Chains A and B, each alone.
Chain A
Amino acid sequence: MSELLQVESLCIGLKQTGKPIVKQVSFALRKGAALAVVGESGSGKTLTCKAILRLLHDRTFTVSGSIRYRGQELLAASERDMRALRGNRIAMIVQHPMMAFDPTATIGTQITETIMAHRRISKRDAYSSGVRALERMNLPRCEQLMNSYPSELSGGMLQRIVIALAIIHEPDVIIADEPTTALDVRNQSMVLQELKQLKQSGIGLLLVTHDFGVAAGLADEMLVMREGEVIERGTVHDVFAAPREAYTKELLEARILMRKEDRHDRDEGCIQTV
């Protein structure tokens, strides 16, 4: 079977009110392919990503449908099996690198623990392989970086560390939730370059983005989500050339997206000054 990840009729709802948030979402991800998920803020993209790794609390959310990784049903998997997959076979790149790390622990501690979560190796070996992972991302002065705290690093650096951590266990699938939104233009293109290479190396990439440019540059196929529903799907080429839905057209004209992205930038600004 060539499908790495197969999501069928995924529904996510709020447990308390029963309000559906993500409705009947289906898609498949193949080896070496990239699937872009675009949609405005609040359309349920992040929730979908988290649901795949079973990161949603069942206190708050109900999740139904089917999520299969190499044929294994994840919604029925034990917590133990899920932990073995997370970060190991299916890795995640997060939306807000500035908030992704424990502020009281050094980067080195958090890299080391990530390596040791899936490999039986000594702390010392984990540490040195952490340094090598940072070097692979062309980060400067990696030894020093290991001893620094998240608040000492820029968003771009943190996102590169997040990417380094995502590939550290050579996963099959990477879920990248708006990997470039929090970054400035220079860092954005660098991250995109990384992701392109990952895809070429055979990883299946699920790419969530606001940005049609990013989707066009990386993805083969795309989904357009609105209010929790997939309203349009096809190859990137087809969707761009002939959007069937008026909403997609609107998105393509970038009006909504630009506005959303402005808002996001401002949000990021607030977060950074806190």
Chain B
Amino acid sequence: MVSMIRRRLTGLAVVLFGVTLLSFLLASISPVDPAEAYALRVTQQPTPEQIAAIRVELGLHLPLHQQYFRWVGNLLQGDLGISYLTKKPVLSDIAEKLPVTLQLVGLALVWVALVTVPIGILTALKPGTLFDQAVRWATILGISLPSFWLGFLLLLLFTLILPVFQVVNAGTLGSLILPSLTLAVPAASAFIRLFRATLLSNLNKDYVVYARARGIRQSRIVWVHVVKNSLPPLITLFCQYVGLLVTGSAVVESLFSLPGIGMHLVNASMARDLPTVNGCVLVIALIFVLTRTAAELINARLNPKLTDKEERLYG
């Protein structure tokens, strides 16, 4: 367990280094000059002198590696710089936007968990029934629906036809229901399919036959043994989805006018707001790494034998 955490921490450092470096490189090869974009927001028609002055002010005249090390140096002191766009510290902007997205994603994952476990179990226990077939088609549909279209449909349905939920008022839990459902439908479809398949393969294992041969109740076999054995892949995917949904929340956030980090990142990219882009990328990478570690820790608890072997393999 300890060696696993140590391994993860090293991994974390490597991933963050790679990701921030990449985002720096990508920003620098982009054809739009951030200084020019900045100047355009300040004055109508900036002169080349003005643009050059801004470039020096923002430190963009320095060679790329110097910019990067300056950024990392500041980062180590907890400073992510000032947003070109909002003129506020990047960190405080993120602190403001991230909770909205996390609530949205959290609620979406609650829906996902609520439908995946019972539907997965019901379909795996009785494969081939009408219900199973219906779920199969529904999940194929759910995976392939574009989320903006699904969100749009929900929006239309619930604002114009059945005005039950507040759509615009941000900040309330009610305002998150439709957007979180929009995020949850494709995710839940993927989860149900994975869980059903894993359950089915576990139900066909010898240990299930032998447990039945010993007279153990079906409910116990399913809930104590089969479900427990089928959880690890689900938990891994679940934790991956935290990061994926945070990244993918931009579409839904813009559709439902939610001031979350996804929209924030998109706006910042369009405005060439480099400190914000780098800050957001860093935070999202951090979320990916942390959730992955969480998945490993949970799976290690569920199946102690797995980790012992892993530890032996990794020395």
B-binding residues in A (CB < 8 A): 50, 53, 55, 59, 83-88, 91-92, 94, 96, 99-105, 110, 113-114, 117-118, 149, 151-152, 165
19 pairs, A vs B, C-beta closer than 8 Å: A53-B213, A59-B127, A83-B215, A84-B215, A87-B216, A88-B215, A96-B206, A100-B207, A100-B210, A101-B210, A102-B207, A102-B225, A102-B229, A103-B229, A104-B303, A105-B224, A113-B220, A117-B215, A118-B215
**Known contacts A96-B206, A100-B206; A114 and B225 CB within 8 A of each other:** no
Nearest neighbor of B229 in chain A, beta-carbon distance: A104
The distance in angstroms between the C-alpha atoms of A57 and B283, with both chains bound, is 50
The distance in angstroms between the C-alpha atoms of A91 and B309, with both chains bound, is 33
- Contact in complex: A94, B214 (CB < 8 Å): no
Question: Nearest Cβ distance between residue A60 and chain B, in whole angstroms?
Answer: 10
Nearest neighbor of A103 in chain B, beta-carbon distance: B305
Determine whether B217 belongs to the interface, using a CB cutoff of 8 Å to chain A.
yes
Q: A85-B215, A103-B305, A149-B305 are in contact. List 20 more A-B contacts (CB 8 A).
A: A50-B209, A55-B209, A55-B212, A59-B127, A84-B215, A88-B215, A92-B210, A96-B206, A99-B205, A102-B225, A102-B229, A103-B207, A104-B228, A104-B304, A105-B228, A110-B211, A114-B214, A117-B214, A118-B215, A152-B305
Nearest neighbor of A166 in chain B, beta-carbon distance: B214
Question: Nearest Cβ distance between residue A111 and chain B, in whole angstroms?
Answer: 10
Nearest neighbor of B203 in chain A, beta-carbon distance: A57
- Contact in complex: B211, A83 (CB < 8 Å): no
Option from A59, A100, A113 in Cβ contact (under 8 Å) with B128: A59
Nearest neighbor of A165 in chain B, beta-carbon distance: B214
Question: Nearest Cβ distance between residue A18 and chain B, in whole angstroms?
Answer: 17
Determine whether B145 belongs to the interface, using a CB cutoff of 8 Å to chain A.
no
Question: Nearest Cβ distance between residue B18 and chain A, in whole angstroms?
Answer: 34
Question: Nearest Cβ distance between residue A130 and chain B, in whole angstroms?
Answer: 13
Option from B210, B212, B220, B305 in Cβ contact (under 8 Å) with A151: B305
Query: Of residues B205, B214, B216, which shows the largest number of chain A Cβ atoms within 10 Å of its Cβ?
Result: B214
* In the complex, chain A residues whose CB is within 8 Å of the CB of B309: 151
Q: In chain B between 189 and 239, which residues have their CB closer than 8 angstroms to a CB of chain A?
A: 205-207, 209-217, 220, 224-225, 228-229
- Contact in complex: A87, B209 (CB < 8 Å): no
The distance in angstroms between the C-alpha atoms of A129 and B128, with both chains bound, is 42
- Contact in complex: A99, B207 (CB < 8 Å): yes
Determine whether B302 belongs to the interface, using a CB cutoff of 8 Å to chain A.
yes
* In the complex, chain A residues whose CB is within 8 Å of the CB of B206: 94, 96, 99-100
The distance in angstroms between the C-alpha atoms of A86 and B207, with both chains bound, is 15
Contact with A along B256-284 (1 / 0, CB 8 A): 00000000000000000000000000000
Q: In chain B between 294 and 309, which residues have their CB closer than 8 angstroms to a CB of chain A?
A: 302-305, 309
**Known contacts A59-B127, A113-B220; A103 and B213 CB within 8 A of each other:** no
The 3 lowest CB-CB distance pairs between A and B, nearest first, are A87-B214, A87-B215, A86-B215
Question: Nearest Cβ distance between residue B303 and chain A, in whole angstroms?
Answer: 5
Option from B128, B205, B210, B217 in Cβ contact (under 8 Å) with A117: B217
- Contact in complex: B216, A104 (CB < 8 Å): no
* In the complex, chain B residues whose CB is within 8 Å of the CB of A118: 215
* In the complex, chain B residues whose CB is within 8 Å of the CB of A88: 215
Nearest neighbor of B304 in chain A, beta-carbon distance: A149
* In the complex, chain A residues whose CB is within 8 Å of the CB of B220: 113
Q: In chain B between 36 and 83, which residues have their CB closer than 8 angstroms to a CB of chain A?
A: none
* In the complex, chain A residues whose CB is within 8 Å of the CB of B215: 83-88, 114, 117-118
Nearest neighbor of A85 in chain B, beta-carbon distance: B215
- Contact in complex: A104, B305 (CB < 8 Å): yes
* In the complex, chain B residues whose CB is within 8 Å of the CB of A55: 209, 212-213
Question: Nearest Cβ distance between residue A121 and chain B, in whole angstroms?
Answer: 15
The distance in angstroms between the C-alpha atoms of A104 and B309, with both chains bound, is 13
* In the complex, chain B residues whose CB is within 8 Å of the CB of A113: 216, 220, 224
The distance in angstroms between the C-alpha atoms of A151 and B224, with both chains bound, is 18
The distance in angstroms between the C-alpha atoms of A102 and B229, with both chains bound, is 8
Question: Nearest Cβ distance between residue B220 and chain A, in whole angstroms?
Answer: 7
* In the complex, chain A residues whose CB is within 8 Å of the CB of B211: 102, 110
* In the complex, chain A residues whose CB is within 8 Å of the CB of B214: 86-87, 91-92, 114, 117, 165
Question: Nearest Cβ distance between residue B312 and chain A, in whole angstroms?
Answer: 12
The distance in angstroms between the C-alpha atoms of A94 and B130, with both chains bound, is 35
* In the complex, chain A residues whose CB is within 8 Å of the CB of B213: 50, 53, 55, 86-87, 91-92, 94
Option from A53, A91, A105 in Cβ contact (under 8 Å) with B225: A105
The distance in angstroms between the C-alpha atoms of A118 and B215, with both chains bound, is 7
Nearest neighbor of A152 in chain B, beta-carbon distance: B305
* In the complex, chain A residues whose CB is within 8 Å of the CB of B209: 50, 55, 94
* In the complex, chain A residues whose CB is within 8 Å of the CB of B224: 105, 113
- Contact in complex: B210, A94 (CB < 8 Å): yes
* In the complex, chain B residues whose CB is within 8 Å of the CB of A83: 215, 217
* In the complex, chain B residues whose CB is within 8 Å of the CB of A96: 206
The distance in angstroms between the C-alpha atoms of A113 and B228, with both chains bound, is 16
Question: Nearest Cβ distance between residue B139 and chain A, in whole angstroms?
Answer: 21
* In the complex, chain B residues whose CB is within 8 Å of the CB of A50: 209, 213
* In the complex, chain B residues whose CB is within 8 Å of the CB of A151: 305, 309
Question: Nearest Cβ distance between residue B203 and chain A, in whole angstroms?
Answer: 9
The distance in angstroms between the C-alpha atoms of A110 and B213, with both chains bound, is 13
The distance in angstroms between the C-alpha atoms of A105 and B303, with both chains bound, is 8
* In the complex, chain B residues whose CB is within 8 Å of the CB of A99: 205-207
